[in-house]
Structure 1
């Protein structure tokens, strides 16, 4: 299982878009830990204009992960991209971040569950 951290804040529509894309494009199970940056001045300084920022288990950060190509490349570099889902998204079968992804066409994932923290 992959452990990811998302630096976010309440009402961040780009963060919601990243989460929707992550749910579709991540191959396998993952746990997403959300960190609210507005409650910490240091986090506000570091991430305030960069959110959403997705961080992997090694501390590697992804800015602008709400852009499908950037997220797909980042996941692929970690061996965690669901290639079939990426091909469907590229073929124009909807964009989950814009509410257009047809989940009825999405096959069940290996293990069948997504974990949110």
Structure 2
């Protein structure tokens, strides 16, 4: 199962740029969903595409983003209290 979905459009230059950033950031497998195929998705994402959604916690990253921002966003984890932390593992900086 994939953890990420990229919402995009056909023939979308920004979506092509987002795909290049995902490759540069070495995003693991993800699904692409075209908002043009659904009225619901069109109303939700129509003016926002491309949008990357983390299926594990529902967070979304709207364009524009670069590889560094994307890497930081992917590394963010949710702690048991529902707060997002940009740190993984046993890091002394964690609150």
TM (norm. structure 2) is 0.67
- 5+ residue gaps, structure 1, are 80-117
Q: Distance in 2 between matches of 1:19 and 1:7?
A: 11
SS of 1:62's partner is strand
Q: Which residue of 1 aligns with 2:59?
A: 60
Kindly indicate whether structure 1 or structure 2 has the higher relative contact order, using CA contacts under 8 Å at least 6 residues apart.
1
Q: RMSD between aligned alpha carbons? A: 2.2
Q: How many residues align?
A: 76
Q: Which residue of 1 aligns with 2:30?
A: 32
Q: Which residue of 1 aligns with 2:91?
A: none
8 A contact 2:4–2:31 mirrored in 1: yes
Distance 1:55 1:43, change over 3 A: same
**TM-superposition CA deviations, 1:60-117 (whole Å, max 9, x none):** 11111x42153233123258xxxxxxxxxxxxxxxxxxxxxxxxxxxxxxxxxxxxxx
- 5+ residue gaps, structure 2, are 78-85, 87-95
Q: Which residue of 2 aligns with 1:16?
A: 16
- 4+ aligned runs moved over 4 Å, structure 1: none
SS of 1:5's partner is strand
SS of 1:14's partner is helix
Q: Which residue of 2 aligns with 1:72?
A: 71
Which structure has greater helix proportion?
A: 1
